[in-house]
A and B are shown apart, each in its own frame.
Chain A
Amino acid sequence: MKTSITKLATAVGASVALLAAGQAAAEIKIGIAGPMTGPVAQYGDMQFSGAHMAIERINAAGGVNGEEVVAVEVDDVCDPKQAVTVANRLVNEGVRYVVGHLCSSSTQPASDIYEDEGILMITPASTSPEITNRGYELVFRTIGLDSMQGPVAGSYIASQKPERVAIVHDKQQYGEGIATAVRDTLKDSGIEIAMFEGITAGDKDFSSLVTKIKQADVDYVYFGGYHPELGLILRQARQSDVDAKFMGPEGVGNKDINTIAGEAAEGLLVTLPPSFDQKEENKELIAAFDAKGEDPSGPFVLTSYAAVQLIAEGIAQADSKDPYDVAQTLRSGSFQTPIGTVQYDQAGDMTSFEFVVYEWHSDGSKTPVN
């Protein structure tokens, strides 16, 4: 009796396993992990919108090697603790490819889990150099690095020949990383850094900081961080008649800064990836976004689209669903995507990615600065 129960259990177990394998064969699950809620949810919207479009178009064209691509969406709220939780959930759901996460501080702990579990991850937005410098095999990105963005901002400020510059950051991986890169570039050009200071993300009162900036009598203020804090700083600085020019990374460049800062956002300088949606070769894709009533102009829409496309092409070219084979293919090939030709180095970074300086306007539009 005992043996028959064991046999039965084994049989049931085996058939469940078979069933699971059978299901997995019919579709390719791609996890999309980013903030659906929380203070930076609008970036998550860009990510989900881009990834959805890519999945729809891939499926409409017959899927990957005849298999349908299915999205598994999770919300990490841009919180490192939550990121670990959702990464584990993706592992449990049997996802083997992830597009995400968005905030560097979430991507970092999540990528540890993916690497350990043999899941391939492409982040469309995290720019912290730390993410790809740990020798991981399965971690890629479709965006540049802080170490590229910082120097672009730093050399732009240096080219304006300011006498003194203030640098403020939010003490988080992303913000402090870029701020440090900007500081180093400016120091190399011999420009005086009047202050280099951290604030607490989530704070509302920046009156002391603004007073300090005013007293330091600087020409430029560089802020490493996201728009909720910079928006308030801009607004409070304008109320105190600070006339310095403000500049920030792509984390501040979205329309929500206008609702917070209002008129004070006029003239803000932002380093952003070039407007991929303005490119001639993306016309047909942009029309598809317009037809859905979605805005493809956000900085992470097309990087997310490209991330999904790379996973799909990687699987198709490798003719294998093993993430390690796909990673190998991605590293060796060259891919045409809406963000240009993508080639990877050994670390999982794109061999070239460009950042451009834009001037932000109080109506939420932007113009490139030359």
Chain B
Amino acid sequence: MQDLLYFFQQLINGLTIGSTYALIAIGYTMVYGIIGMINFAHGEVYMIGAYTALIAITGLATLGITWLPLVLIVALICAVLVSSSMGWAVERVAYRPVRGRHRLIPLISAIGMSIFLQNYVHLAQGSRNIGFPALIEGGFQFGSEDTFPMSISYIQITIFITTLICMTALSLFISRSRIGRACRAVSQDLGMANLLGIDTNRIISATFVIGASLAAVAGLLLGMYYGSVDPLFGFIAGLKAFTAAVLGGIGSIPGAMLGGLILGVAESMTSGYLSGEYKDVVSFSLLILILLFKPTGLLGKPEVEKI
């Protein structure tokens, strides 16, 4: 019984972290699906989302506003607004001018952007860890106190539910809305979509904005969950989310979700049953194994040579 509870506790830990990986991975996978480039500055957009949420929360606290739903909504709106305009600006400044050139050029440009944003936050906010207030505390407990009580905290539940809502909304948006349909058309054939009267520049901008908004949501959630932010916060998370996107099949939105969850669970199971030291070894070995047998990732479609 105790071992079972322990297993479920580690599973919940893994799913929590995995769902936020998935939220960030969407940004990588959508951009790749549409223009075939890796937006390495995406992790930084996520970090800026977390900082903005923190600034908003602190600002509201100094104004004496502590009513939780209001604080969360304001923080969320601020984070999404700042991050998505950041996502839009990054695309305009660093990617649009070099679009259509050799593949390496936008890649270098993306890495440059990532370094720029990281150092910008270093300068503006200082390089120290800043504490993030735990707004949502408490949780449910299962099992007896003397053996091993399994606990699910409210923040973990919030993370699941928010991820679920975001993912469903995104899937509906992509499959039903006009812009969603245009996104799919652009990802299939950018030139043709252009000829058929789709404003491809606008669609590409929209992709960056959507990815950045989801990253901002993840930033707020993870900031609250972990309890601190620093300027390098986005780097590791971005790397993991990128791995999740590749694992699930880059370019595929359900793939990003699946990849995120698998990666999160693999990490927590490794630290739970083996040792935390092997966490990254196992998750990256998993990535290599999957790519060996399925080079396009779990749900990725093989790229058809266009004639």
Residues of A within 8 A of B (CB): 37-39, 41-42, 171, 197-200, 202-205, 207-209, 211-212, 214-215, 228, 231-232, 235-236, 239-241, 256, 258-262
Q: Which residues 144-163 of B sit at the A interface, judged by CB distance below 8 A?
A: 148-149, 151, 153, 155
Output the nearest chain B residue to A212 by Cβ-Cβ distance. B272
User: CA of A30 to CA of B149 in the docked complex: distance in angstroms?
Assistant: 57
Given A208-B268, A212-B271, A239-B134, are A260 and B236 also a contact pair (CB < 8 Å)? no
Contact A211 B9 (CB under 8 A): yes
Contact B129 A259 (CB under 8 A): yes
Contact A260 B228 (CB under 8 A): yes
Would you call B233 an interface residue if the criterion is a C-beta within 8 Å of the partner chain's C-beta atoms?
Answer: yes
- Set of chain A residues within 8 Å of B17, measured between Cβ atoms: 205, 207
User: CA of A203 to CA of B275 in the docked complex: distance in angstroms?
Assistant: 15
Given A228-B129, A262-B134, are A204 and B276 also a contact pair (CB < 8 Å)? no
Contact B228 A231 (CB under 8 A): yes
A204-B222, A207-B16, A256-B128 given; name 16 further pairs at CB < 8 Å.
A37-B127, A39-B232, A41-B127, A41-B128, A171-B277, A197-B277, A202-B236, A204-B228, A205-B13, A207-B268, A208-B14, A231-B129, A231-B228, A239-B137, A241-B141, A260-B129
User: CA of A240 to CA of B267 in the docked complex: distance in angstroms?
Assistant: 19
Output the nearest chain B residue to A211 by Cβ-Cβ distance. B9
- Set of chain A residues within 8 Å of B267, measured between Cβ atoms: 205, 208
- Set of chain B residues within 8 Å of A208, measured between Cβ atoms: 10, 13-14, 267-268, 271-272, 276, 279
- Set of chain A residues within 8 Å of B237, measured between Cβ atoms: 204
User: CA of A198 to CA of B123 in the docked complex: distance in angstroms?
Assistant: 31
User: CA of A211 to CA of B228 in the docked complex: distance in angstroms?
Assistant: 20
Given A204-B222, A239-B137, are A260 and B277 also a contact pair (CB < 8 Å)? no
Contact B151 A232 (CB under 8 A): no
Output the nearest chain B residue to A205 by Cβ-Cβ distance. B17
Would you call B226 an interface residue if the criterion is a C-beta within 8 Å of the partner chain's C-beta atoms?
Answer: yes
Output the nearest chain B residue to A36 by Cβ-Cβ distance. B127
Contact A241 B151 (CB under 8 A): yes
Contact A200 B276 (CB under 8 A): yes
Contact B122 A204 (CB under 8 A): no
Q: List 15 A-B contacts (CB under 8 A).
A: A197-B277, A198-B275, A199-B276, A200-B279, A205-B267, A207-B16, A208-B13, A211-B272, A212-B271, A212-B272, A231-B131, A235-B227, A239-B134, A241-B141, A262-B227
Contact A203 B236 (CB under 8 A): yes
User: CA of A209 to CA of B10 in the docked complex: distance in angstroms?
Assistant: 9
Contact B232 A232 (CB under 8 A): no
Contact A204 B233 (CB under 8 A): yes
Q: Select the residue from B13, B149, B155 with max chain A CB neighbours within 10 A.
A: B13
Output the nearest chain A residue to B272 by Cβ-Cβ distance. A208
Would you call B95 an interface residue if the criterion is a C-beta within 8 Å of the partner chain's C-beta atoms?
Answer: no
